[in-house]
Chains A and B, each alone.
Chain A
Amino acid sequence: MAAAANPIEQFEIHDIFPVVKIAGQQISLTNSALYMILAVVLTAALMLGTTAGRRLVPTRMQSVAELIYEFVASMLRGAAGEHGLKFFPLVFSLFMFVLFTNVVGLIPYTFSVTSQIIVTASLALLVFFTVIIHGFWAHGLHFLKLFAPSGIPIYILPLIVVIELLSFLARPISHSVRLFANILAGHITLQLVASFVTMIGALGVVGWFAATLPLVFTVALYALELLVAFLQAYVFAILTCIYLNDSLHPAH
């Protein structure tokens, strides 16, 4: 059946126009890049466009921007303390990028940027290397105290260090795969259930009435995917804050 082969086709990357050829590899503007640019433009329009008036008593849209700012700032302050606020631009950018790409990807016929592992892995590795580099820059070798918490008896210390090291190295993997797999699975399920509507609807008059069942399920699934879009953006950001806290305050 044709619909069964289609679930992966929505994730294909298409070139829109070529830009430059570096070392035999064609670099072009792809649909993925276009939606990333769209996410940045929407974020800028929301934050810059609404606050241009800088009213003391905010307009509705200005208070939306202020609410989002306060939400991310309180999340970062709660997880990393007052010193953590120096990472606010990074955390806010990550949160808004993931939020807008998730939500825009739900519109039919768009491309979901975060359903590509390369995008989520790049973001997760950005956070991972920020943690490591800032940790060594701010604390020197004392940063390695992260893997040897205080109060551990000396005879199990080697085992604890190995376990802590492995769980630290597993962070970028789980950080990226969580977002990627959630969005990917959501879009594949949506495509599958929506294809049921057309498959059943093609069966004649009975099909038209019977197809309302998968249609209702598609609507419910869309609501769930919208919740997942917001939730995964929030989880990505708060885990970033928690990992950054480890680089700011490494000693337990």
Chain B
Amino acid sequence: MDPVAAKYLGAGLACIGMGGAAIGVANVFGQFLVGALRNPSAAGGERNTLFLGFALSEAFGIFSLLIALLLLFVL
């Protein structure tokens, strides 16, 4: 297979990984909402953990995007 074509195919395949990251991020916010609706007065104190969890789980989606960009523009 032509290496350039293989690179484009690889970049497309790498983006499948973002599906898992999307589920993870939705999980984080969903669980925060469950907790916040049960105990609204304690929800403000957990806001920092919410943002930390969001950034950590989004990082893996960004890693797969990075692989795709590496394949397209660097290699």
Contact status B55-A178, CB under 8 Å: yes
**Interface membership of A232, Cβ < 8 A:** yes
Q: How far is the CA of A180 from the CA of B59 in the complex (A)?
A: 10
**Interface membership of A110, Cβ < 8 A:** no
Also in contact, A8 and B55, with CB within 8 A (given A181-B65, A181-B66, A185-B65): no
Contacts of B63 in A (CB 8 A): 177-178, 181
Number of A-B contacts (CB under 8 A): 41
Contact status A178-B69, CB under 8 Å: no
Q: Tell me the smallest distance from the CB of A46 to a CB of chain B, in Å.
A: 22
Contact status B66-A184, CB under 8 Å: yes
- Please tell me which one of the listed residues A8, A178, A180, A238 contacts residue B73 in the complex, with CB atoms under 8 A apart: A8
Nearest A residue to B67, CB-CB = A181
- A: number of interface residues (CB 8 Å): 17
Q: Tell me the smallest distance from the CB of B68 to a CB of chain A, in Å.
A: 9
Contact status A182-B51, CB under 8 Å: no
B residues adjacent to A (C-beta < 8 A)? 48, 51-52, 54-56, 58-59, 62-63, 65-66, 69, 73
A residues adjacent to B (C-beta < 8 A)? 7-8, 75, 174, 177-178, 180-182, 184-185, 188, 231-232, 234-235, 238
